[in-house]
């Protein structure tokens, strides 16, 4: 059998796109595919500068990012400068496709399909495209004219996709690493000392953006949990949180699954990869003070589709925590169960998967 050659497009905008891309690469390689992983931040002109600018906006003025997201919801047409950058990135991706004799492209980033649309201008053959949507909510920028199959990991994401595009979509399990398959209580990891209060995990992605300090203080004020704040690679946030009495401050955590097993609830402000990991492991989730833009969209989608609670202040948080603990499996039950690698290979005529299974 000919070994399939697959190009995976991601973007190192936090870890929410990289994590699924790496896990998809691992699973596809186990099924015999040859996988090339490309970071669009490295491919796009000024990619590093754009990433720094995006992080700066999220850190210093998240409401501005929320307004930008809202404007693209109304009209997903990109500014001329963005279209030029995508065209240049597409030319470079086309070179990778030609040089690697790529059979299939998989994107875990919302602009990946648009980059592939630009790449097709330089290719002399059609290369199918699969887009793996990393969020429970579907921003219109995920939708393009070249994707042949969308993959969603939440049952309630499927109708959102169908409302935006007629392109086929399949419900799959999240591309989370193997350690997230076990449930809290299955294995005690030694993170939590005996006799301590139940832990509430406070996470805001690898960048640690948003009102993380406020969330930690709100959990403290509730009084029933000890906040464990994962600050990712945000050293400034780590120092600020570490100065709060009663809070456990952590930087980058390599074994997040082990930490999650010793926590009773997760308090998130965005969604994406951490949300999928928490739901996969069966950890109850509260969206607290969600980030403007995609964070608010994810929180609203989870509330509408799975009844997951959303809160914005300490009084609402108490009720939200109660609801999450009483309905611990609400998000877990909405996850797909088909291996996304099988769905991807179905495009090439292997491991067929039924839509919505």
Instruction: Please indicate, yes or no, whether residues 115 and 218 belong to a single structural domain of this protein.
Output: no
Decide: 128 and 107 in contact? Cβ < 8 Å.
no
**Burial of 244: CB neighbours in 10 Å, binned 0-12, 13-18, 19+:** middle
Question: Is 352 domain-assigned?
Answer: no
Q: Which two tokens stand for residue 119?
A: 């790449």
Decide: 249 and 151 in contact? Cβ < 8 Å.
no
Which of 86, 129, 87, 124 is closest to 105 using CA atoms? Answer: 129
Question: Is 220 domain-assigned?
Answer: yes
Give the model's confidence band at 97: pLDDT under 50 very low, under 70 low, under 90 confident, else very high.
very high
Question: Which pLDDT score is estimated for 214?
Answer: 97
Question: Is 216 domain-assigned?
Answer: yes
Question: Which pLDDT score is estimated for 1?
Answer: 56
| DSSP sequence for 180-240 | GGSPTTTS--S-SPTTPPPEEEEE-TTTT-SSHHHHHHHHHHH-SSEEEEE-TT-HHHHHH
| Single pTM value for the model | 0.92
Question: Is 190 domain-assigned?
Answer: yes
Question: Is 283 domain-assigned?
Answer: yes
Q: Which two tokens stand for residue 176?
A: 């989370």
Could you tell me the CATH number of the domain that includes residue 113?
Answer: 3.40.50.2300
Instruction: Please indicate, yes or no, whether residues 189 and 168 belong to a single structural domain of this protein.
Output: no
Question: Is 357 domain-assigned?
Answer: no
Rounded Cα distance, 230 and 207, in Å: 10
Instruction: Please indicate, yes or no, whether residues 329 and 340 belong to a single structural domain of this protein.
Output: no
Give me the domain span that covers residue 207: 180-334
Enumerate the β-bridge partners of residue 81.
none
Rounded Cα distance, 271 and 138, in Å: 12
| DSSP sequence for 275-338 | HHHHHHHT--EEEESPPTTHHHHHHHHHHHHH---EESSHHHHHHHHHHHHHTTTTTGGGB--S
Which position has the higher pLDDT, 268 or 182? 268
Question: Which pLDDT score is estimated for 192?
Answer: 67
For residue range 260-274, list pLDDT tens digits in order.
999 999 999 988 899
- Mean pLDDT over the full length of the chain: 91
Give the model's confidence band at 61: pLDDT under 50 very low, under 70 low, under 90 confident, else very high.
confident
Question: Is 113 domain-assigned?
Answer: yes
Out of 4-18, 34-48, 55-69, 336-350, least confident range: 55-69
Enumerate the β-bridge partners of residue 62.
none
Give the model's confidence band at 31: pLDDT under 50 very low, under 70 low, under 90 confident, else very high.
very high
Give the total number of structural domains in the chain. 2
Which position has the higher pLDDT, 17 or 178? 17
**Residue 105: C-alpha distances to residues 140, 205, 286 (Å):** 20, 26, 35
Question: Which pLDDT score is estimated for 140?
Answer: 93
Question: Is 103 domain-assigned?
Answer: yes
Instruction: Please indicate, yes or no, whether residues 193 and 156 belong to a single structural domain of this protein.
Output: no
Could you tell me the CATH number of the domain that includes residue 206?
Answer: 3.40.50.2000
Whether residue 187 has pLDDT greater than 60: no
* Mean pLDDT to the nearest integer, 159-165: 97
Question: Which pLDDT score is estimated for 318?
Answer: 97
């Amino acid at each position: 059998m000919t070994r399939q050659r697959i190009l995976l497009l991601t973007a190192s905008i936090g870890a929410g796109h990289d994590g699924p891309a790496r896990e998809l690469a691992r699973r596809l390689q186990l099924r015999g595919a040859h996988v090339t992983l490309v970071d669009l931040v490295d491919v796009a002109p000024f990619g590093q500068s754009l990433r720094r600018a995006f992080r700066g906006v999220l850190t210093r003025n998240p409401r501005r990012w929320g307004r930008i997201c809202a404007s693209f919801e109304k009209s997903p047409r990109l500014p001329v400068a963005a279209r030029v950058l995508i065209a240049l990135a597409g030319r470079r991706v086309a070179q990778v496709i030609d040089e690697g004799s790529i059979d299939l492209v998989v994107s875990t980033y919302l602009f990946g399909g648009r980059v592939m649309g630009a790449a097709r201008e330089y290719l002399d053959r059609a290369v199918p495209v699969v887009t793996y949507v990393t969020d429970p909510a579907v921003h219109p920028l995920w939708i393009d004219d070249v994707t042949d199959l969308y993959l969603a990991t939440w049952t309630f994401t499927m109708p959102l996709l169908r409302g935006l595009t007629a392109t086929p979509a399949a419900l799959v399990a999240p591309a989370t690493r193997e350690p997230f398959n076990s449930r809290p209580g299955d294995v005690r990891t030694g993170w939590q000392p005996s006799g301590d209060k139940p832990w509430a995990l406070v996470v805001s992605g690898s960048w640690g953006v948003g009102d993380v300090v406020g969330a930690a203080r709100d959990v403290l004020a509730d009084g029933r949990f000890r906040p464990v704040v994962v600050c990712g690679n945000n050293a400034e946030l780590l120092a600020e949180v570490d100065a709060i009495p009663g809070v456990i401050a952590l930087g980058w955590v390599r074994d997040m699954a082990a930490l999650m097993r010793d926590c009773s609830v997760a308090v998130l402000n965005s969604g994406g990869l951490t949300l999928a990991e928490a739901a996969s492991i069966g950890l109850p989730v509260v969206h607290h003070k969600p980030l403007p833009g995609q964070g608010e969209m994810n929180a609203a989608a989870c509330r509408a589709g799975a009844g997951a609670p959303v809160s914005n202040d300490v009084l609402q948080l108490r009720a939200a925590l109660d609801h999450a603990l009483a309905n611990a499996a609400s998000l877990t039950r909405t996850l797909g169960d088909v291996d996304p690698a099988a769905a991807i290979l179905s495009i090439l005529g292997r491991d067929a998967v039924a839509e919505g299974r």
